[in-house]
Amino acid sequence: MSQDMSESEENLPSEPSHAHGGDVPAVRGENAFADPGLPPHEHRRQDIDERAAKSSERTIAFLFLLSMLSTIGFIACFVVFPVDKIIYVFPFGHVSALNFSLGLTLGLALFCIGAGAVHWARTLMSDEEHAAERHPISAEPEVKAQVLADFAQGAKESGFGRRKLIRNTMFGALALVPLSGVVLLRDLGPLPGDKLRHTLWSKGKVLINQNTNKPLRPEDVPVGSLTFAMPEGLEENQERFQKEIAKAALMIIRLEPNDIKDKRERDWAHEGIVAFSKICTHVGCPISLYEQQTHHVLCPCHQSTFDLSDGARVIFGPAGHALPQLRISVNEEGNLIALGDFTEPVGPSFWERG
Amino acid sequence: MSTTAENSQRRGKAPAGERVADWADGRLGIYGLAKANMRKIFPDHWSFMLGEICLYSFIILILTGVYLTLFFHPSMAEVVYDGPYAPLQGQRMSDAFASTMHISFEVRGGLLVRQIHHWAALIFVAAMLVHMMRVFFTGAFRKPREVNWLFGFLLLVLGMFTGFTGYSLPDDLLSGTGVRFMDGAVLSMPVVGTYLSFFMFGGEFPGTDFVPRFYSVHILLLPGIMAGLLVAHLILVFYHKHTQFPGAGKTEKNVVGMPLLPVYMAKAGGFFFLVFGVIAAVASIASINPIWAMGPYRPDQVSTGAQPDWYMGFSEGLIRVMPGWEINAWGHTLALGVFIPLMIFPLVLVAIAIYPFVESWVTGDKREHHLLDRPRNHPVRTGFGAAWLSWYGILLVGGGNDLWATHFHLSLNQITWVVRIGFFVLPVLVFIATKRICLGLQRRDRDKVLHGRETGLIKRLPHGEFIEVHEQLSQEALHTLTAHDQPKPLEAGPEVDENGVERKIGPITKLRTKLSHGFYGEASQIPKPTPEEHAEITSGHGHH
């Protein structure tokens, strides 16, 4: 084959006329100082002094013996220590006696086997270096020629290149058949629909204080503290609880009405009490850090910071838009209620959010 | 009848081991295999055991993982906790969380195995990264080992995701927060994001499907692929024969070291026990992922200082320092603040993965390499590797910006800005500094070859001058220090050919020659001392 030789010479650049010039990288070892060859083997003490060898042997045997003892210790600890026993071990503090003792005995049993084997290899096994030859990875030209000829023969006998109709329909069939597998994945989940647009909040829903599990009243919301609320009717023992609270979680603070810079926020508040989605608009962590002097809230996951006195706009961090506000008021019993659902989707942005 | 006679005849001669081996050879052809491999030579260097740590921690992960599956329930069915851990009694939680509590508090040794499993996972990924750096900085990825480099790279990436799906399984507050983050990242993908999220969670987040789904990915799909890649990786190591550092008697055509049987059987086999022993000891004294302290996952609760396992830290850094850009148009939202980090995340990894191919293209080097480079002798490669590490490192800092702020009493906002700027600037600075250090070390090698080693002995000459005595290096050392290549940069060739006709030099060729000059030009290597220079200096008088 004429291309055989090009393999070793494709040292670039693409112009063949220069493939032989200064483009060929320097030959390995060019200008190297002469190689004196492998240094003579130096004997270790164990190779020439049988007493030293015996001492190594004893050390190794001792390590293996220690491993055996440790394993017995492991079994003993497993039997002796109750699973809930806590002991004080300096400097680790109060630890589970079982975990501590099992781990150390197991660790020692394993480590001693390793240490023994390595010590054996280093002191008693021959440390004479040998040189083995390497052989090129690529096949000899004759082998390659034979393989190419065989392939051509096989391809010809199959008629693969000649009978294009068979070839193309086979490609078509092979390309289509995985589609069944893709279709089978369809029932992994329902389509999103508008599920991300709605939460459990609706007009008249009472805000339930998550600490007391009682309806939240304006007088329960002191200045300078963060209160968490969920919609009435949502109970922790319901199956839907996790996915509903993931959208409906609410945080409530009381501001001086005059401190509220954003007009809409003031309109949607009740006597300075404002309710915002607790779910960060970045990637959906619940926001939980409140700075009462500045009315900033900070998401502890990625540090997006929102100004609750100014429409919960983003003032720092990776969040892309303000926290949605829930419009609230008071019903005839004096409980805080929602005046509707959030007007925009809560939580992280998604393509259809708009 | 004759076979019985033959057997009884043999029984007197051949030992039992040989007879077993004969039996196996007749069916598996083991003698042929053993001939090639039993006394296979492996070179010795401490850095060659980094890959062994990866292999052994993977084996430990499989062993402990199988044990954990015997007790863990991959189910999100709600249960009320009534186990021995008092602070959580009466709390609602998923069966996954409750069974992890059961493993930790009621199964004897369960906590130990859980902790060994988690520690081994951290060590596994760390060892893979360090092993990859060893291969990178010594140029062990060059032909014929590029494919094995890719296998190793895939193992690293799969290891990261196996880790992520694994630590999400207990359904605790910390890992649930990580899953929520992943959901937010998926949601940011244009057009398909919302659908992907619903398909992944079987509906709205968090749903009741992700733990069993992550479970099969974690214990079957990913480890299965990894086991296959790992075997392929090892077969190639055997097939290519191990690389070696240059030195006396070591060439591109040989491999110098000690035989597999017995030395490496003992050393490598023993090392498995050393690694396992150390991890077991660590697991007995250092608590990891104490899920009881975090409690079960609730989407409306979170703890401060939430951190992923370390290997996911750089993606956390990307997501934390990215400005919150968002485009709203035509009724759609493009959350660039999340989507861009999601796209850079694989890019960071791919940047290092494709490097071998870039280097071989730029330098035009298509030869086989079995002698390793000292990092200093390839200043551009070493600079790139160090720059990549600094890039990775600054993102890790960004991923822990809250912890840096609280531990070192710094401003969180300032750290974030430092990372934002450092993301672009730091790798450049590190590249320049590393390259200069490499060149400095090359000069030092040149000096040592020509003038010998500083002995620390001061000699007073008759006329009162003090000199330091330099000692000539041994021939071995001289050879070792000068055994490396100093390739010449590629040239685009003359602008006119021999007939005086202008040659067209394409932009790609131009770029390539330019890069090649960057790699091997005068600014990137200090000329090696030649034996002639050395002879001239040492033979002349007045040399000291």
The residues, any chain, with a CB within 8 Å of residue B6's CB and separated by 6 or more, are none
Chain A contacts of B263, Cβ < 8 Å?
A: 121, 125-127
Q: Cβ contact (<8 Å) for B493 and A321? A: no
List of chain B residues whose C-beta atoms are within 8 Å of the C-beta of residue A315:
none
pLDDT (tens digit per residue) in B314-372: 999 999 999 889 888 888 898 988 999 999 999 999 999 999 999 999 888 888 999 99
Torsion angle, alpha carbons of A19, A21, A24, A28, to 10? 150
Q: Report pLDDT for B519.
A: 87
* pLDDT for the residue numbered B310: 92
Cα distances (Å, whole numbers) of residue B113 to A132, A185, B104, B117, B282: 42, 35, 9, 6, 12
The CATH architecture of the domain made up of B50-348 is Up-down Bundle (1.20)
Chain B residues with CB-CB distance to A303 below 8 A: 320, 401-402, 412, 416
Residue A3: predicted pLDDT:
37
Stated as kind and residue range, the H or E segment containing A87 is strand A86-89
Q: Are A284 and B184 inside 8 Å of each other by CB?
A: yes
A134 part of contact set with chain B, CB < 8 Å: yes
Across the interface, which of A127, A131, A190 has its CB nearest the CB of B256?
A: A131
The percent of residues above 70 in pLDDT, for chain A, comes to 92
pLDDT value for A23: 41
pLDDT in tens, A278-321: 999 999 999 988 888 888 999 989 989 999 888 889 998 899 89
| The pair of three-digit structure tokens given for residue B377, joined into one six-digit string | 């002798």
ipTM: 0.89
Cα-based distances in Å from B374 to B140, B353, B381, B544: 11, 20, 11, 29
- In A298-337, the residues whose Cβ lies within 8 Å of chain B are 300-304, 314, 316-321
CA-based nearest residue in chain A for residue B256: A131
- Report how far apart, in Å, the C-alpha atoms of A78 and of each of A143, B67, B119 are: 62, 17, 22
Question: A25 with B488: CB under 8 angstroms?
Answer: yes
Chain B residue numbers touching A130 (CB-CB < 8 A): 41, 256-259
Judged by a CB distance cut-off of 8 A, whether residue A16 touches chain B is: no
Directed axis angle between helix B110-137 and helix B146-167, to 10°? 150
The answer to whether the Cβ–Cβ distance between A301 and B274 falls below 8 Å is no
pLDDT in tens, A187-203: 999 999 888 999 999 99
Domain A197-338 CATH class label: mainly beta
Q: Two tokens at B82?
A: 């009534």
Chain B within 8 Å of A114 (Cβ-Cβ)? yes
Q: Are strands A313-316 and A325-326 parallel, antiparallel or unpaired?
A: unpaired
Q: Name the residue in chain B with its Cα closest to that of A316.
A: B413
Which residues of chain B lie closer than 8 angstroms to A134, CB-CB? 241, 252-255, 370
Give the pairing type, strands A227-231 and A207-209: antiparallel
A225: three-class secondary structure by DSSP: coil
List the structure tokens of A235.
């109970």
Q: Check: CB of residue A249 under 8 Å from CB of residue B300.
A: yes
Check A25 against B487: CB less than 8 A apart: yes
Q: Which residue of A has its CA nearest to B296?
A: A242
pLDDT of residue B405: 87
Q: Give the Cα separation of A245 and B207 in Å (integer).
A: 12
CA B343 to each of CA B195, B196, B307, B309, B336: distance values in angstroms, whole numbers, following the listed order? 18, 16, 21, 20, 10
Residues 6+ apart with CB under 8 A from A286: A249, A278, A279, A280, B299, B300, B301, B302
**Strands of B10-126, DSSP E:** 41-42, 78-80, 92-94
CB distance A103–B203 less than 8 Å? no
**What's the pLDDT score for residue B7?**
52
Token readout for B170 is 């207990």
CB contacts of A188 in chain B (<8 Å) are: 199-200, 202
pLDDT at A28 over 80: no
Which residues of chain B fall short of a pLDDT of 70? 1-12, 540-544
Helix runs in chain A, H state only = 6-9, 45-48, 50-80, 97-123, 141-158, 164-176, 178-184, 241-248, 263-268
Q: Which of A193, A235, A230, A224 shows the shortest CA–CA distance to A326?
A: A230
Q: Quick check: A296 contacting B, CB < 8 Å?
A: no
| Residue A16, pLDDT score | 36
Q: Which of B35, B97, B204, B475 is the best mutation test for A, with the most CBs of A within 10 A?
A: B204
pLDDT at A52 over 80: yes
Domain ranges of chain B: 2-33, 50-348, 445-494+501-539
Amino acid at B254: N
| Parallel/antiparallel/unpaired status of strands A328-330 and A336-338 | antiparallel
- End-to-end, the C-alpha distance of chain A in Å comes to 62
Rounded to whole angstroms, the Cα distance separating A240 from B207 reads 8
The residue ranges of every structural domain in chain A are: 45-123, 197-338
Per-residue pLDDT, B12: 63
DSSP label of B262 = I
A182 interfaces chain B, CB cutoff of 8 Å: no
Alpha helices in B209-264 (DSSP H): 210-216, 222-240
Of A136, A191, A349, which is closest to B187 when you measure between CB atoms? A349
- Of residues B254, B331, B476, nearest to A354 (C-beta): B331
Cβ-Cβ contacts under 8 Å between A and B: the total is: 402
Say if residue B276 is exposed, middle or buried (CB neighbours under 10 Å; 0-12, 13-18, 19+): buried
Is pLDDT of A93 > 70? yes
**What's the pLDDT at B518?**
85
Inter-chain CB proximity A28 and B367 less than 8 Å: yes
Going A28 to A33 to A34 to A40, the CA torsion angle's sign is: negative
Hey, what are A21's tokens? Answer: 């010039």
- For residue A144, the SS3 value is helix
How high is the pLDDT of residue B541? 53
Q: Can you give the pLDDT at residue A255?
A: 87
pLDDT tens for residues A234-278? 888 888 898 899 999 999 998 888 888 888 898 898 888 999 999
Crossing angle of the two packed helices B30-37 and B16-28, in degrees rounded to 10: 100
Judged by DSSP in three states, B363 sits in: helix
Strands B254-259, A336-338: pairing is: unpaired
Spatial distance between the Cα atoms of B388 and A64, rounded to a whole number of angstroms: 44
Contact assignment for A110 to B306 by CB distance below 8 Å: no
Is A120 within 8 Å of chain B by CB? yes
**Which residues contact residue A200 at a Cβ distance below 8 angstroms, ignoring those fewer than 6 apart?**
A230, A231, A233, A234, A244, A247, A248
As a residue count, chain B comes to 544
Interface test with A, best of B260, B273, B365 (most A CBs within 10 A): B273
In this complex, do A30 and B485 lie within 8 Å of one another by their Cβ atoms?
Answer: yes
CB contact under 8 A, B323 and A318: yes
